[in-house]
A and B are shown apart, each in its own frame.
Chain A
Amino acid sequence: MSKIKSLDELKKIREQSKGGTDIRVTGENPDRVVLAVGMATCGIAAGARVTMSTLLDEIDKAGLDNVSVVATGCLGFCYAEPLVEVRTPGREPIRYANVDAARAKEIIDKHVKQGILLDNAIIGKEVPRQ
């Protein structure tokens, strides 16, 4: 470890080490948006791991501090995996089908950042969250 020589340098280290704790800090935020990725056998076989890591990378790149990515069980639409459900507090959850890396990027860019839904990728009727 080399010495930190100024407040600015300290802040830089804070930014670098944020990645170490930010999923905890975000997890405490009651207003966060949760992206649930179907990670049951069907999801994983269809490539949910790539989906998840893309989501995580994009959130990181965009510096979003109110979005969590969680794994969830089978959502019951095995033909449309990988599935991602976007849960925004106070709103009906939205489910997207066949989320590959490109669509994952789009979810972050459009839905999460700008509130624009990807109409062509929404699956089923909006099911209220239990």
Chain B
Amino acid sequence: MSKFRMHILVCGGTGCMSSSSGEIFDVFEKELSANSLSNEVQVIKTGCFGFCEQGPIVKIYPDNVFYVQVKPADVSRIISEHVIKGRTVPDILYKNPESKETVAEHREIPFYHSQLRIALRNCGLINPEEIDDYISVSGYEALGKCLTEISREDVISAVKASGLRGRGGAGVSTGFKWEMAYKSQGDKKYVICNADEGDPGAFMDRSILEGDPHSVLEAMAICGYAIGADEGVIYIRAEYPLAVERLRIAIRQAEEYGLLGDDILGSGFSFHISLSLGAGAFVCGEETALMNSVQGMRGEPRMKPPFPAQAGLWHKPSNVNNVETWANIPPIILKGADWFKSIGTEKSPGTKVFALAGQINNVGLVEVPMGIKLRDIIYKVGGGVRGGKRFKAVQTGGPSGGCIPAELLDLAIDYDSLQSVGSMMGSGGMIVMDETDCMVNIAKYYLEFTVEESCGKCTPCRIGNRRLLEILEKITSGQGTEDDLTELKDLSAAIQDSSLCALGQTAPNPVVSTMKYFWDEYIAHVRDKKCTAGKCTSMLTYKVTDKCIGCTICAKNCPVNAISGSLKSLHSIDPAKCVKCGVCFNKCPKQAIERV
């Protein structure tokens, strides 16, 4: 057989690798060779499929069959049944949680129905460590086309016309930024890839770099050509070892082919890319702090203007874009601005990758067209709220974003609509909360993060946010007053107005948005000293009701011996000793413990 009749793709994303996909890959190679199938069937390690919840993932082409939660011990059955006899192995197929039916074909899994993959187009399709795989799907042709057929100005016009907006947070027009950097005078310019990805829960940038590193390299070279830069820097956190490794391999392979380096494709244009490893501070994702960090200085932001396009890295004109922004560039060049504009909404064309997390069934990475309804992401793609609980809110935009309540589930999401409801796109984190989540507590959680990550350079952020956090701690511990709520509002406004960088300016957003949509909960905390969700433990009291049969289970399990009572008689809890851990509540066989 002159070529492989079957390809077995094993997910090599961080999620699946941390289960046992590395071992699964090895067992496949071993057993295929033991069955003399190595010449017929090829095993390939790919990037993330996005369905990490169901990992490790194994996908088989050309049948397009998708196996989930595969264990190394399943490999021999896949080979004897599927590879040799052409029968699927039913128990490791995806099972539709509603209909309980197994689904073999990838595209028939509801999780993938509403998805449209542009930035993630090659993740889970190609081998990221093999440049020929990337070239086979038209890789580096956008760069080749730019260098040989399109003028620098026309490249910029095309990106501008596509309407692509930065996927790293603020959503600025990418073409506009390129144009600014192009017009800036300088003997030296830089192209920077922001791969810091500090939002808790977001991992789209990591997945793109792990699954399709060449698309980012190609896009950076295109930008270098357009703005007149010959050097690129990828700023990536050292906590992403697999992404770093795959980038290193990709850069080396691209250099060997002469697709990076001097005189690319004989055009006279030269472009070199290096990596700069960060230590993983959230603020270093802010572009001016990032550039300071690359220069070996403290990762602190500075005032803008001057913008990076005017005075960036080493004071030279620079253009910073986010990983996902970069991944959109080659398809825009190859397929044209009109194609891109036909997807998404008028002001936010294209797609966005979201990282679904929290109380949702399908935790994972999804790419959907802009303008999709929140409801569709959460219920259709995400499979709904975990454990059949009631949806309460979704937090978007990470620590700078806000919480969106159930009333707004029909919001069609894009940059502007999210902002209009007091949240933001951010990097695309999406954390779903259900009825057992306390919104005051959520606001506190995000503030703990920003207080921890504040660089301390400006006072409003360093001290203001700490004061905000203290007030929230007071409220969640049952000590809050109505004056505290006024204070929260005033202080938030002051911090938003006066902080130096967007970290401080946006840190109060989770507080402001939860106060806007869940005011009742704040009032219940300060006025009635009640946490309706039952999360703020210091406001809870546990009582034994007369359903008690005196079985003594609660007393035996109480870690602080706060429960007394003899066999077959009513027990009672000593409120002075009780630490409100809830063990008795969960252990009681008769639901005789009441939590109020």
Contact = CB atoms under 8 A, between A and B. Distances in A.
Contacts of A36: 86
A25 B9 CA distance: 13
Contacts of B7: 23-24
Interface of B: 1-7, 9, 61-64, 83-87, 107, 125-126, 130, 132-133, 135-141, 144-145, 147-149, 253, 256-259, 265-266
Contacts, number: 121
Contacts of B133: 17, 20-21
Contact of B85 (A28, A39, A56, A60): A39
Nearest to A30: B107
Interface string A5-23: 1110111011001111111
A71 B1 contact: no
B64 A27 contact: yes
Contact of B1 (A7, A34, A52, A73): A52
Contact of A10 (B61, B63, B141): B141
A98 interface: no
B257 A3 contact: yes
Interface of A: 1, 3-7, 9-11, 13-14, 17-28, 30, 32, 34, 36-40, 52-53, 56-57, 60, 68-73
Given A6-B265, A20-B132, A24-B61, A71 B84 contact: yes
Contact of B5 (A9, A30, A34, A52): A52
B63 A73 contact: no
B151 to A, nearest CB: 15
Given A7-B141, A68-B61, 9 more contacts: A5-B258, A10-B135, A10-B265, A23-B5, A23-B62, A24-B7, A28-B125, A70-B63, A71-B83
Contacts of A13: 132, 135
Nearest to A23: B62
A96 to B, nearest CB: 17
A67 to B, nearest CB: 9
A3 B61 CA distance: 31
Contacts of A39: 84-86
Given A3-B258, A23-B4, A57-B2, A18 B136 contact: yes
A37 to B, nearest CB: 8
Contact of A23 (B61, B86, B148): B61
Contacts of A22: 136
Nearest to B64: A27
A10 B62 contact: no
Given A10-B144, A17-B135, A68-B62, A40 B85 contact: yes
Contacts of A28: 64, 107, 125
Contact of B61 (A4, A27, A56, A71): A27
Contact of B62 (A7, A11, A17, A69): A69
Most A Cβ at <10 Å: residue of B62, B144, B253: B62
Contacts of B258: 3-5
A4 B83 contact: no
Contacts of A69: 5, 62
Nearest to A32: B62
A24 B134 CA distance: 13
Given A1-B256, A19-B3, A60-B3, A71 B132 contact: no
